[in-house]
Chain A
Amino acid sequence: MPRPYYIAMILLMAVATYTTRVGLIGVAKQFQIHPVLKKALDYVPVSILAALVFPAVLAPSGQLESPVTNVYLWGSVITVAVLLTTKRQWLAIVLGVASLMLMRVFFGA
């Protein structure tokens, strides 16, 4: 059974999280979005994607790694190469991850 202390903590965490999720999702229903902001919103998805990819690949342990020994970087190179040549998303992900795991085994990185 969950203990009361942790129930309280988890429920408050849930409220804090949901507040951020619901906070602005309805904003375009109530307000006209300024044209400049609308323009800016076009670039939000690629910016977030860049933020989800590059730090994870260039600094997988939280610190920048040498590009030569960074298996995440080489795994990304293989992912991109497979995607560009085959245009198949699944294959690119699977071969990227598999290559990284193999590099781990062989180089112990």
Chain B
Amino acid sequence: MHKPTPDDRHQFRLGVAKTLPLALGVLPFGLAYGVIAIQAGLNIAETMMMSLVVFAGASQFMAVVMIASGAGIPLVVASTFLVNLRHLVMGLSLSPYLAKLTSRWQRFVAFSMTDESYITTVTHYRETPEEQGSPYFMLASGGSIYVVWAIASLVGALAGHLISDPLKWGIDFAMPAAFLTMLLPQVTSRRVAAVVAMAALVGTASYVLIPGKWYIILAVVSGTLTGVILETLAERREA
């Protein structure tokens, strides 16, 4: 890791700015996690430790609900692993843009990769003409989510028994709304629209039918297959 250049600083600031809508969307979920963790019987230190070292919203929610129902360590850890398997796809999708980084940098930026920072980062890398992505952008994106998640968890944990469920107010919509505003500009062709339709269909159906986060993986598999098949067919027609 070299000394940051002015361009690195620029990329860092850009990373914070572009992640802001999603970072704010994370806020109510961090609050809710803190509240639920305290109600599940964790103390404030444990609640915070989980947010700081695990730093994965969905699996933290799942873990505290499992703790409340008396599940043991092996089940909680195995479930965490399964819920987070989707990160493998995200890492794979980012890897071409990070291929020239040192392994040390790769391992470093990997820690803060969440759904939110992945989407922001990969969208930015695809928009910029450079073949390689700036690690400073990804660092800032993941770091922004990390800071918001930590503060929101703490406030939720301190409020603990005072607030019931901040997700009931309607601000939980901030997250899908932010993702929606990122999705729309990317639908630039009928092929991408077909990919989105397929991923939406398969994702929603499996979300309703299969517990856990498999719906994201299934949506990715069906969406990318649709894209590759349509692209290959189009190439054949031209040839």
How many whole Å from A5's CB to the nearest CB in chain B? Answer: 8
In Å, the complex CA distance between A64 and B118 comes to 27
Contacts of A25 in B (CB 8 A): 91-92, 94-95, 98, 106-107, 109-110, 113
A44 touches B184 (CB 8 A): no
**Given A20-B81, A43-B195, A45-B122, A14–B54 Cβ distance below 8 Å?**
yes
Say yes or no for A68: interface residue by CB 8 A criterion. no
Interface members, chain A 9-40 (any B CB < 8 Å) = 9-14, 16-29, 33, 36, 38-40
How many whole Å from B6's CB to the nearest CB in chain A? Answer: 26
**Given A14-B54, A23-B87, A29–B103 Cβ distance below 8 Å?**
yes
B45 touches A1 (CB 8 A): yes
**Interface size (A, Cβ < 8 Å)?**
71
Say yes or no for B220: interface residue by CB 8 A criterion. yes
Contacts of B63 in A (CB 8 A): 9, 13
A18 touches B110 (CB 8 A): yes
**Given A93-B181, A96-B173, A43–B224 Cβ distance below 8 Å?**
yes
In Å, the complex CA distance between A43 and B225 comes to 9
**Interface size (B, Cβ < 8 Å)?**
89
In Å, the complex CA distance between A6 and B50 comes to 9
How many whole Å from B60's CB to the nearest CB in chain A? Answer: 8
B173 touches A72 (CB 8 A): yes
**Given A38-B96, A46-B192, A23–B88 Cβ distance below 8 Å?**
yes
Contacts of A22 in B (CB 8 A): 91, 106-107, 110-111
Say yes or no for B39: interface residue by CB 8 A criterion. no
How many whole Å from A11's CB to the nearest CB in chain B? Answer: 7
Contacts of A29 in B (CB 8 A): 95, 98-101, 103, 106
Binding site for B on A (CB under 8 A): 1-3, 5-14, 16-29, 33, 36, 38-59, 62-64, 71-72, 75-76, 79-80, 83-84, 89-90, 92-93, 96-97, 100-101, 104
Binding site for A on B (CB under 8 A): 21, 25, 42-43, 45-46, 49-50, 53-56, 59, 63, 67, 73, 76-78, 80-81, 84-96, 98-101, 103, 106-107, 109-111, 113, 115, 118-119, 122-123, 126, 169-171, 173-184, 186-187, 192, 195-196, 199-200, 203-204, 207-208, 215-216, 219-220, 222-228, 231
